[in-house]
Amino acid sequence: MVCDVRSTPYSHYKPDFSRGPLRQHLNAEGIKYAFFGDQLGARPKDRSCYVSGQAKYDRIARTDFFNEGINRLRVGVRKMNLALVCSEKDPIECHRAVLVCYNLPDLRGNIYHIHPDGSLECQDRFEQRLVHLHGLTPPPLLQRPGDWESAVTEAYEKQAAGIAYREG
């Protein structure tokens, strides 16, 4: 099943990737389609999720609608293979990894990001890359317990601030 986490599942550039045509193409190939954008999208309608016109992932993650979507994913993954689809190629630039996957710690061993060349990146490797991107890798010889977890949390916060939707 393909789970579409785009808030606005339409494309003028690639109309075949708009919600209706995408569903038709997938269904024709025997692949189910489910829309999750109203629950797991990066541009929620709920105004309490915004500060100064920017969506805040920590606020989104605390909403009932987001947690209902996360629970739908948890139920779905017990029944079938799920693939989350959004617009960005690199998961480091996309809320599906920085917001949705971050809030599925219980499934982290089963999360793989598919890159344009077909290669797979596990969630642990993704987090290593994210921490490195923000220059937060703790020095190996000076690391204390909890340093890595703190670096991961800070890297997610920094990335969310950089990629979250801004109005206007």
Give residue-wise pLDDT tens across range 52-99.
999 999 999 999 999 999 999 999 999 999 999 998 999 999 999 999
Find out whether 19 and 4 touch, Cβ atoms under 8 Å: yes
Within a domain: residue 98?
A: yes
Total domains present in the chain? 1
Torsion of CA 156, 163, 117, 33, to 10 degrees: 90
Q: How much is the pLDDT for 142?
A: 76
CA distance 86 to 114: 12
Length of the chain in terms of residues written: 168
pLDDT digits (tens, 9 = 90+) for 146-164: 899 999 999 999 999 999 9
Within a domain: residue 168?
A: no
Half-sphere exposure of 141 (CA within 13 A, CB side): 0
Q: How much is the pLDDT for 70?
A: 98
For residue 168, pLDDT over 90 is answered with no
The answer for 52, left when phi > 0, alpha when psi is -120 to 50, beta otherwise, is left
Q: What HEC string does 11-73 produce?
A: CCCCHHHCHHHHHHHHHHCCCCEEECHHHHCCCCCCHHHEECCEECHHHHHCCHHHHHHHHHH
Within a domain: residue 118?
A: yes
Within a domain: residue 147?
A: yes
pLDDT digits (tens, 9 = 90+) for 92-135: 999 999 999 999 999 999 999 999 999 999 999 999 999 999 99
- The pLDDT confidence band at residue 144, using thresholds 50, 70 and 90, is confident
**Residue 90 belongs to domain spanning:** 2-163
CA distance 95 to 83: 14
For residue 13, pLDDT over 90 is answered with no
Q: Look up residue 8 and give its two tokens.
A: 């606005």
For residue 8, pLDDT over 90 is answered with yes
Within a domain: residue 59?
A: yes
Within a domain: residue 67?
A: yes
